[in-house]
Chains A and B, each alone.
Chain A
Amino acid sequence: MPVDILMPALSPTMEEGTLSKWIKNEGDTVKSGDVIAEIETDKATMEVEAVDEGVIGKILIPAGSEGVKVNSIIAVLLQDGESADALSAPKAAEKQEAASPKVEEAEKPTAQGSASAPVPAAPKAEVAADPDIPAGTEMVSMTVREALRDAMAEEMRRDGDVFIMGEEVAEYQGAYKITQGLLQEFGDKRVIDTPITEHGFAGIGVGAAMSGLKPIVEFMTFNFAMQAIDHIVNSAAKTLYMSGGQMGAPIVFRGPSGAAARVGAQHSQCYAAWYSQIPGLKVVMPYTAADAKGLLKAAIRDPNPVVFLENEILYGHSFEVPKLDDLVLPIGKARIHRRGKDATLVSFGIGMTYAIKAVAELEKEGIDVELIDLRTIRPMDLPTIIESVKKTGRLVTVEEGFPQSSVGDFIANRVHREAFDYLDAPVVTIAGKDVPMPYAANLEKLALPNVGEVVEAVKAVCYK
């Protein structure tokens, strides 16, 4: 039997990739371990090695094909004595479909595999215009990853005191490719690979900031920043106060926070609630690429320490981003993602993906939801939430982090205190489950919030 060679998954979040080059051609003999092709994911270019021995009978996906789905057949390997003529034509034709060019959407979620789909596909929700972006601005489609890189590059061009340090940010081009090209443009003085030493390099970053430089410290994930949290909290956040206003730390700590896909308990925690507790910090957690760009630029310019929480799954999502020379958005201001009148839904970061889908389903059932994207966790734009609740009388919050002392709990408390008379139902907070993140696909899915929960919660506060 001929052996199918499948498009491999080369990272926890990879769904598709570009088959950039065939190293072996039809008719070539391969042994296990031979490099047969090169595949480009959104993170890296990887070599594909043969697992079985045989002769390449048929190449089904030509070099240069984009959007090749993981597990689709890219070639067929003939075993001893088999002939390429034996391959059935329909099979090959069917597989060609996988190579069709990818469709650009306004908000393109990573299409998850059926079993491990914490984030179902987002329908296009009605998106309210951001009042901070001039009406009529030309928009370009861009991934969150590109938006973050452009934000850093623009700020580094603008200010020689801005530099980036972290693990694999330079030569490797970023563990998640966020710093791609920065080393080439700015050199190794300003794009600095550190050893694996979070506590130490976070402290060095804060020390450099205390002397007036403007470091961007990248954590490969905020899970690793647990080793550095002393410097984020004790050194960066408190110095301005402890010095009676004499010196602070203009620094950005950034990197992915929260669950990716199947990476287990120690790589999946969301830190929004943790850092949101600390006076002296600003905490930003964008959802769209436009917010990622505009808020990262604002964070780099901010004279205070900013914790900038990204999300690995969102890195590959594309959004419309305003084409402006200098897109800087205000930290501390929520964005009304969709206007509605029946209930208020508040979320941030990847929590927005559940919220947007829930809003679309609720719309079908005649419930008109106002969806607020917090964007900044601290200082929190409570007035926008409270104004909305005064209008709708109902509030649900959505986040992926742990439930106890969550961001939603804080919002619920403040809304109960400041808008109690306007509430027609108790606030419902939706968060991740109160368990360490499991690895098994089904359990991981259960541990995260889901769209159904959000839909049910909104219906419950509407008594429907």
Chain B
Amino acid sequence: MTPLFSRRGFLGAAAALTAVLYGAGDVAAQSGDLTIAYNIPVQSWDPTTGPAAVNPVLQSVYLAVFDRFIGQAPDLSFIPGILTEWSFSDDKSTVSMTVRDDAVWHNGTPVTPEDVVWSLQRAANPETGNPMQFVWGKIDNYKIDGNVITADVKEFEPAFFKWMAFLTGFVLPKDYYEEVGAEGFEKAPIGSGPYMVDAFEPGAFVRLKAFPDYWGGAPEYETVTIKFVTDPASRVAEVESGNSDITVNIPYEEYDRLIAKDGLTGEAVPITDIGMIFLNDVDVMLDKNVRLAAHYAIDKQLIIDRLLRGYGVPLATLEAPGYAAFDESITFPYDPEKAKELLAASGYSVDNPVKFTIQTTRGFKPKDYEMIQAIVGMWRKVGIDATIEVYDIAKHYELRATDQLAPAAFYNWGNSIGDPSTATGFSMFGPSPHSVWDSQDLIDKIGPLFSEADEEKRIQGYKDVSAYIAENGYVIPLLQYVMPIVHSDKVKVTPYTSGDLLPQAMTAQ
């Protein structure tokens, strides 16, 4: 019988296969190339419709390909995007917007005011499925004169122009979109941003090529590959092995370990992501003493130091440093004795604790479950016996939208434009589906601020509301998160407070 493989043939084939595989592995970035191991895959290339459009983490990729109406600097300040000027009229009845004349779509055609108007009208059309339709529908009757667009204000929204730098605030190409349709756009998206989509493997990677005609100047890296690596351990391995130059959102322990290694360094800056405990106006939470005691009993700095390795900023309100309505004079000290006094006034003690349930995710945010465990431990020492219920984030959204959350529920609130209406406003205003505390006093205080035309009065109004919320213990703000970015020391990364990781803001060093 003739054997299928001779021993020599088998060894030769094995050696050849080994050589093929060895040579086929991904290699570290070459000059002019950049590889990013990113934590979420792009789900759709329409940044204005569907769930992907309101996913804050996906905005970084969208911002590489598309331009927003208005841009945002690393410190949250607003800068020209496709619009170079924007304003309300003095009586707030009209808006005026000037469109830049040097922006070009990736197919070479110019970005026009018609594109801007079409994008705004499409966003305002309920049938397109833009989740932010409620904002974009507040202006109408557009008129174009040269590069200037004017429109009527149907309902005054003080933060309207800030929304233009926020979720779904992207300009899309009217003619191209109408030519290829929604499905064609998904397959071959074009924008006016610094990078063009060169190749896209859903769930795997997107390869971007620098757009030489970008109005802000071509970005430094010619090719950027963004790999979608959802598992944190795999992202750590990607950057540690040199397969990727940059990764983000890894455990803080790994961040500290990796930046100590040769060839790697990191950035860890506070971002617009707030860890908080929603309190629901039910059961024992109707007792102000219980609410305030629960807040006084939490040593936030200890949690940050012990669980988050020092990466975090303790907060007293839902407005973080850098936000428009941040007020550093509002503080909330750690005071377990005060907590005991308050509980005693309501008849509770360590031997006779007040009992309630606290809900939390596990692994959705860094150390979320562990933080709640620590807080429950702190509470136990003052006379609060809380039971932890773990759920996934989808259940949290559903329960919150139907106002069925437990008396306490951990969550993180993002607000990359730093406006108080999108932080304290919507999270504490009863009629909002995102609000948990629904008392009339807050509705009366926050409601008028949504349409306050005097910006100074509006901001001061939110500061006053924040102080009022703290005095009454309607919510427990915990901390401002820090986003860990690990990268090759050959790359210079500009961190954004908004949490965006923009390849166009990366340079070689």
A, B co-complexed? no
- Chain B: residues with CB nearer than 8 A to chain A? none
- Chain A: residues with CB nearer than 8 A to chain B? none
